[in-house]
Amino acid sequence: MAPPARPVWTGQIRLALVALPVKLYSALDSREKIAFNQIHEPSKQRIKYEKVAPGFGPVKSDEIVKGYEFQKGRYVLFSDEEFEALKIESKKTLDMVQFAPADTIDPIYFDKPHYALPDGKLADEPYRVVRDALRNTKTVGLGQITMRGRSYIAAVKPYEDGLMVETVHYAEELRSARGFFDEIPTGASEPDLVDLAEELIKRKVAAFDPKKFEDEYGKAVERLVKKKIERHGELVLEDKEEPSPDYGDNVVSLVDALKKSLAKKQAAKAADSEEAPAPKRVRAAAEKLKTPRAKAPAAKPAAKRAKK
């Protein structure tokens, strides 16, 4: 597939004295499958928005400038020329000033990915050199890039046969997680429960394949639009989603699920070899997971056998 006609950024990626001319293209497909407009229902006319100034009315686009409110109701104004005059050395250059092991960057910092393509035939060789060096060292090149009037941290990383430049959030852009998790009980979980939960997880381990996940809501909207057109705008409600059942107190907890999983595992082992005793760790887990019940009458004969 050919890249889009217009790159979002054109400049150089620099590694010391090596300058690599590149063009960046967004890796995200921002096209919406279904796009809606706001309509005035009585007149069936599309709603349009006008930019207005209180006490003045509609204004022209060339009369609008940026303003910063330094006091309530008081602004200092800026022209586009003032922003263009700002001297930022990295405006058209992404200088990799640091290299970090790829697995040391928390995924929460990554923002938007861009494909980086060599700009011109002379860029092909340094492009491949930088790509292979990053891949062999398993590192990510870090620097800063200016796009659309904003400065970003940028991560340069090998991706498939080429390079990817991913914008990275600044530290002050992210909320601290501390306040969100304060009410979660502290202390270690029961090791046996964790072991059993790990076993359930391992059964579902597989390489990530995004094609296995579909936008179910998006497809439902497409079907609704198609039916609406076929029925000439009539109301379409027969496909509305059924209400979720209220399970009340019967919601299966993790512990209940682990009990069932353990029971199945023990039944399977018993079928294979009735004489083979269950492992100590599994027996201990089963005892911990048992729901307390009243003692059964059958317990007394067992006690007599013990005396013998």
Q: Does domain 9-30+86-171 have CATH number 3.40.50.920?
A: no
Structure confidence at residue 36 (pLDDT): 87
Residue 184 predicted with pLDDT over 70:
yes
- Give pLDDT tens digits for 193-212: 888 888 878 888 888 787 87
> Is the pTM of the predicted complex or chain greater than 0.75?
no
Q: Which residues on adjacent β-strands are paired with residue 76?
A: 68
User: E strands of 193-253, at which residues?
Assistant: none
Domain locations in the chain? 9-30+86-171
Q: Summarize pLDDT for 235-281 with one digit per residue, the tens.
A: 888 655 555 555 455 545 656 766 676 677 677 777 766 555 555 55
- For residue 130, the model assigns a pLDDT of 93
Strand order in the sheet with 139-147: 93-95, 9-15, 18-26, 110-118, 162-168, 150-159, 139-147, 98-101
Residue type, 115: Y
